[in-house]
A and B are shown apart, each in its own frame.
Chain A
Amino acid sequence: MRGAKSAKWVAGAIVVAMAATACGGGSGDEGKKSPSGKPEGYVSIDVGEPQKPLIPADTNESLGSYVIQSLFTQLLDFDSKGEIVYTNAESVTTTDSKTWTVKLKSGWKFHNGEAVTAQSYVDAWNWYANVKNQQQNSFWFSDIAGYADVHPEKGEPKADKMSGLKVVDDTTFTITLTEKVPYFNYKLGYATFAPLPKVFYDDPKAFGKKPIGNGPYKFEKWTHKKLIQVAANPDYQGPNKAKNKGIQFKNYATVEAAYQDVVSGNLDIIRQVGPTDLPKYKQDLGEGAIEQPYAAIQTLVPAFYTSTFKDMDPKVRQGLSMAIDRETITKTVLNSTRTPATSFVPPQVKGNQDLGTDVFTYNPAKAKQLVTEGGGVPGNKVLIQYNSDGGHKEWVTAVCESIRNATGVDCVGDAKPDFATDLEARDNDQVKSMYRGGWVADYPVNVNFIKELYHSGAEANNGRFKNAAIDKMMAEADKANSLEESVKGYQEVEKKLLEEMPAIPLWYYRINGGHGKGVDNVEVDFHGDLELTGVTVK
């Protein structure tokens, strides 16, 4: 008897609670506000909590840079083809690739009303570059003359201003570089080169929590681990003026949860659909499904300090490359989220070329022949190091299978529990054989995919590939007077890379995201970010 009674009571409680829940959903619809409290005309996207406070030169992970790019505008930007579009600058010119003159558009203002002047840029860059301020992206300023004074390798800085930066008048300043960098203007599109208002210097820490920029959106609020909200800046004069009223960057614990919300209409845009939902997302989202390649590449990087790769004939690496069936793996294992690579430089990048080679084509017979001709792999075994938290296990297994079948060289995955551990092994030269490398374009020129990865002195050259001839070719290409010449020079370098194979390119990334029925005009830029300013609300 008693039991029956309590069961009834529980059932009653459930009914009441259900009614309460359903009610909450219903009233939300009527108020033309989603249950999340999104203001009308705003667009929501699954961009999680930035790792760090929002200071332009201290952020290079994608979550933070999404927000930074909505709040700050640099001198220039790129269109989807990778061509320069001037935003805050009227022009950026040079005659010798060494001294650059920047003319700003006049009348630009920060969100607090302060005018954006040449001084705003010069002061900001000097602050960013100063070693005392510990900015993560400070090395981006190392081309500028006087960088060594504000950012010595050891000890205190000798100066707080770089000699290479000179203010001419309110809207003009010049940048002198230590050496010629023909593609320097392309670097200026990186978020790090943003200007700062005067209030920043009073308290950088507080500023990072409530940034004031010059971009298409104004900062509104930041509820940690939940959302960041920015509102359209009505006074914005750049070409990328916001077509919506604002953006909500919402934090999701998993991509699956975000996906569920896009499907049900509680979220407008998802940046990347998780592997479990990939097979059905096009059906679920219809016209909202986004599938587009962008300038990023996945490679297998041999560690040249290991006994396996130390004195290896490059032919063997070419053979290994031909032993990988990129077509099948991208289609089946990776659900067509990648495009097979045909060079070291992705197509969206200036200088991408047809290398006219079969090194990237699957050919088991020739693969085996090349490996044998080159003297084989020492120990007849390679390992591929990867981080098991990033969904790489499946394709690593498939690539290994492909190599084993084609060449008879044994291949196994070397899993590290997470990205931090993976990076540590790379930094400390503890990679056992090869590692999984990835690179997203910072600026759309082939230099970014060649010099930053395969120059002997490059920080990201974790395979420790060293080749004096190639270093020299890069130095030559940097001496060019025009961008075109320099890009050509690097194209020659790329041809040389093909002979040496400092890495085995696998595939270019694709973005597989989507948006709900509430929004339209969602475009992807060259490095795979969604262009939020152009999104319209239906």
Chain B
Amino acid sequence: MGRYVARRLLQMIPVFIGSTFLIFAMMYALPGDPVRALMGDQAFDPAVLEAKRHELGLDLPLWQQYVNYLTGLLQGDFGTEIGSGRPISEIIGQAFPVSVRLTLFAFAFTVIVGIGLGIVAGLRPESVRDRGLLGLTLVLISMPSFVLGYLMQYLFAFQLGLTTPTVQDSESFGDLFLPAIVLGSLSLAYVARLTRTSMAENLRADYMRTAVAKGLPRRRIVGVHLMRNSLIPVVTFLGTDIGNLMAGAIVTEGIFNVQGVGDAIYEALFRREGATVVGIASLIVLVYLLASLLVDLLYAVLDPRIRYA
């Protein structure tokens, strides 16, 4: 087990370098020059532009820029943003906690409500409540998140007056409630459906019949025998979903004005702030990697037949 974890952690290094290089190269290949874009529509002086490019090392070839970037990164320096002159670590340090909060909130909502609904439906497949759940999740899956976002905003903020339409303070949990639900609802639908199907299927499994025949209490049959086996696909989905929630919140963050990672990466892309994009993207890569490691480890807990050398 320990060796397995160590190996997985070591594997992360090439993946990390590879992915940062890819993103770096993509940013380099994008048309549009960040220094020029700063000048906008109005007149400017090319001499100033040249001097600035030189100072930032943007006139170097791609590999040299990447080596410089990576050397900085190894020393814990994410670089500086071209426009604002702020250290990128500061920008990341500001956006990440907000997104982590939002993600955790959305994630908790997904897990609790999603699995809960899935269990309710999965225990009685083909019943009325099962049909109801399928209908509800179908609506959630097919509804674009901006529609749901505006709908919630309209209902809760303007009609009922329960919240402010946008997030006033990205650090307050109360404010993040609405966006978190909107963000989590798509995954919620998937989680509920996955749980429901997997439970309905396992209900007919041999070991379930055995457990029932042995006369085990229902609580134990469902809670231990059925749940443990049924949760494997759900956990797999949830693992990758953490990364998705974090990176994919652009629309939701936009509607509710949450200044998180989605917002930061969008703005950085827009302004061609290559180093910022690479910094944020590589951290998201790390989140993905760690989440999938966690999922793999959880398998062993859920299903003792899965063992790591």
A134 touches B52 (CB 8 A): yes
How many A-B residue contacts, CB cutoff 8 Å?
192
Is the pair B43, A423 in contact by a Cβ cutoff of 8 Å?
Answer: no
A17 and B38 contacting across the interface, CB-CB below 8 Å: no
Asked if residues B116 and A6 are in contact (CB atoms below 8 Å), the reply is yes
Ordered by A's residue number, 24 sampled pairs between the chains whose C-beta atoms are within 8 Å are: A2-B219, A3-B116, A4-B120, A6-B112, A6-B116, A7-B117, A7-B120, A25-B164, A35-B164, A51-B271, A61-B38, A61-B40, A139-B43, A151-B47, A253-B257, A254-B255, A260-B157, A261-B165, A266-B168, A419-B37, A420-B33, A420-B271, A421-B30, A424-B36
Is there contact, CB below 8 Å, between B42 and A423? no
B269 CB to nearest A CB, Å: 9
C-beta contact mask, B253-295 vs A, less than 8 Å → 1, else 0?
Answer: 1111111000110000011100000000000000000000000
A52 in contact (CB, < 8 A)? yes
Q: Which residue of A lies closest to B153 (CB)?
A: A260
State in angstroms the CA–CA spacing of A1 and B120 once bound together.
Answer: 9
Sorted nearest first, the 6 A-B pairs with minimum C-beta distance are: A420-B32, A3-B120, A420-B37, A260-B165, A257-B257, A21-B174
Q: Do residues B36 and A427 form an inter-chain contact, with CB atoms below 8 A?
A: yes
**Contact pattern, A 1-40, Cβ under 8 Å of B = 1, otherwise 0:** 1111011011001000110111111000000001111000
A60 located at the interface, meaning its Cβ lies under 8 Å from any Cβ of chain B in the complex: yes
In the complex, the answer to whether B42 meets A52 with C-beta atoms within 8 Å is no
Is B197 an interface residue, CB under 8 A from the partner? no
CB distance from B169 to the nearest CB of A (A): 7
Is B16 an interface position by the 8 A CB rule? no
**Complex Cα spacing A423 to B42, Å:** 11
**Segment of A334-342, A346-354, A452-460 engaged in the interface with chain B:** A452-460
- Which residues of B are found within 8 Å of A23, using beta-carbon distances? 174
Contact indicator B85/A208 (Cβ below 8 Å): yes
Q: Is the CB of A21 within 8 A of B255?
A: no
User: Complex formed: what's the CA distance from A138 to B52 in Å?
Assistant: 13
| Min C-beta distance of A156 to chain B, whole Å | 11
Contacting residues, chain B, for A6 (C-beta < 8 A): 112, 116, 119
> Are A24 and B174 in contact (CB-based, < 8 A)?
yes
The answer, yes or no, to whether B18 is at the interface (CB within 8 Å) is: no
Partner of B263, one of A253, A256, A440: A253
A131 touches B51 (CB 8 A): yes
Interchain CB contact under 8 A, B162 and A18:
yes
B residues in contact with A424, CB < 8 Å: 31-33, 36
Residues from chain A with a CB closer than 8 A to the CB of B41 are 423, 438-440, 460
Q: A: which residues have CB within 8 A of B?
A: 1-4, 6-7, 9-10, 13, 17-18, 20-25, 34-37, 49-53, 60-61, 131-132, 134-136, 138-139, 151-154, 205, 208, 224-226, 251-254, 256-258, 260-261, 263-264, 266, 389, 416, 418-421, 423-425, 427, 438-440, 442, 452, 458-460
Least Cβ–Cβ distance between B257 and chain A, in angstroms: 4
Residues on B with beta carbons closer than 8 Å to the beta carbon of A36: 168-169
**Across the interface, which residues of A come within 8 angstroms of B147, CB to CB?**
none
Find chain A residues with CB under 8 A from B219 CB.
Answer: 2
- Closest B residue to A46 by beta carbon equals B257
Number of interface residues of B (CB under 8 A): 70
Question: B45 on the interface (CB 8 Å rule)?
Answer: yes
Output the residue of A23, A50, A131, A256 with the most chain B CB within 10 A.
A256
Q: Which partner residue on chain B sits nearest A140 by CB separation? A: B43
B40 CB to nearest A CB, Å: 6
Across-interface contacts of A34 in B (CB, < 8 A): 168
Contact at B256–A257, with CB atoms within 8 Å? yes
Closest CB-CB distance, B25 to chain A, in whole Å?
Answer: 17
Q: Which residues of A contact B161 (CB under 8 A)?
A: 25
CA distance A18 to B271 in the complex (A): 38
Bound-complex Cα distance A471 to B86 (A): 43
Q: Are A134 and B51 in contact (CB under 8 A)?
A: yes
B55 at the interface (CB under 8 A from A): yes
> A266 vs B163: C-alpha distance in the bound complex, in angstroms?
11
Q: Determine whether the beta carbon of A225 is less than 8 Å from that of B94.
A: yes
Residues 85-138 of B at the A interface (beta carbon under 8 Å): 85-86, 90-91, 94-95, 112-113, 116-117, 119-120, 123
Q: For the complex, give the distance between the alpha carbons of A521 and B171 in Å.
A: 34
Which of A21, A53, A208 has the largest number of chain B CB atoms within 10 A?
Answer: A21
